[in-house]
Amino acid sequence: MRRLVGAITALTILSAQPVRAERQCTSVADQSAFEVQALRSELMVLATGCHDDERYNAFIRRFQGDLQANERTINAYFQHRYGRMAQTEHDRFVTDLANAISHQGTDIGGDFCPRNGMIFNEVLALTAVSELPDFAAGKNLVPASVEICTPMPSSAATVRKAASVAAKKK
């Protein structure tokens, strides 16, 4: 009987857990930077997989200044979060993002280029470069499998220090 009650309690607790929501950054600027990066990756995957370099290059030329500023924001984010490991984590993120988008394209198959290629027309039709962040946000291009705005990593030294402080209090 105790096992049954324990199992029911465990199931109740597990079923009451909230569904994992899409990760949102605490900073609007960070959230926007990740969304613009996802747009850029989507367009890069399209250009590579669909042989649409001309429109990708037009996108890069048109939004070059904004894309460079976005890259600086992303770099600053990773520097703040990871310190010396910033470049490694940034590279991992960009690779994971491109791989996830590419994988989605593979899942779609032959419809990928015609279906997703319209995004080039949409982004190149923007009337002002200031519209890029809102456009990127509206496309919801960050794959669920790619983590953005992850919590600050705790270093082993921080964990050891906290354990030491806790041990002294006992």
What is the per-residue pLDDT across 67-79, written as a single tens digit (0 to 9) for each?
999 999 999 999 9
Least confident of 9-13, 21-25, 76-80: 9-13
Q: Is residue 10 part of a domain?
A: no
- 99-138 pLDDT per residue, tens: 998 887 777 777 778 878 899 999 999 999 899 999 999 9
Q: Is residue 108 part of a domain?
A: yes
CA distance 43 to 36: 11
Dihedral Cα 96, 99, 104, 107, nearest 10 deg: -130
pTM for the full model?
0.72
**In terms of residue numbers, what domain contains 33?**
23-147
Q: Is residue 156 part of a domain?
A: no
CA distance 94 to 142: 11
- Residue with structure tokens 């939004």? 63
Q: Is residue 136 part of a domain?
A: yes
Q: Is residue 164 part of a domain?
A: no
Q: Is residue 4 part of a domain?
A: no
Angle of helix 64-82 versus helix 28-50 axis, rounded to 10? 120
